[in-house]
């Protein structure tokens, strides 16, 4: 199972952890519950509304020691 982070592409390129999740949308829901109020944003991976230009969901799969494969998933504004 991949480890997820939401990467803020503006400013200092902060990464907010979404921990290990079963699927992409679970990671977005985790972000909304844990980090949403702090950053005043809520996201989904479903193609609803406008695509976010400043946030990106990243799934990190550890393949072998020291070898990490990243997959970028577009986020869409929930509200």
pLDDT of residue 13 exceeding 80: no
Closest Cα partner for 15 from 30, 29, 2, 4? Answer: 4
Helices (H) and strands (E) in the chain, counts: 2, 5
User: What confidence score (pLDDT) does residue 22 get?
Assistant: 95
State the residue range of the domain holding 71.
Answer: 3-77
1-11: average pLDDT: 92
Could you read off the pLDDT of 21-57 as tens digits, one per residue? 999 999 999 999 999 999 999 999 999 889 999 999 9
Residue 7: partners with Cβ closer than 8 Å, 6 or more residues away: 13, 14, 15, 55, 56, 57, 58
Does the predicted TM-score (pTM) go above 0.75? yes
Number of domains observed in the structure of the chain: 1
**CA–CA gap between residue 44 and residue 77 (Å, rounded):** 7
């Amino acid at each position: 199972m991949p480890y997820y982070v939401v990467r803020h592409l503006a400013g200092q390129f902060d990464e907010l952890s979404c921990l290990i999740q079963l699927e992409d949308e679970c990671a977005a829901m985790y972000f909304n519950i844990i980090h949403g109020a702090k950053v005043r944003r809520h996201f989904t991976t479903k193609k609803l509304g406008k695509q976010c230009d400043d946030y990106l969901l990243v799934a990190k799969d550890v393949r072998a020691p020291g070898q990490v494969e990243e997959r970028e998933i577009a986020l869409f504004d929930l509200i």
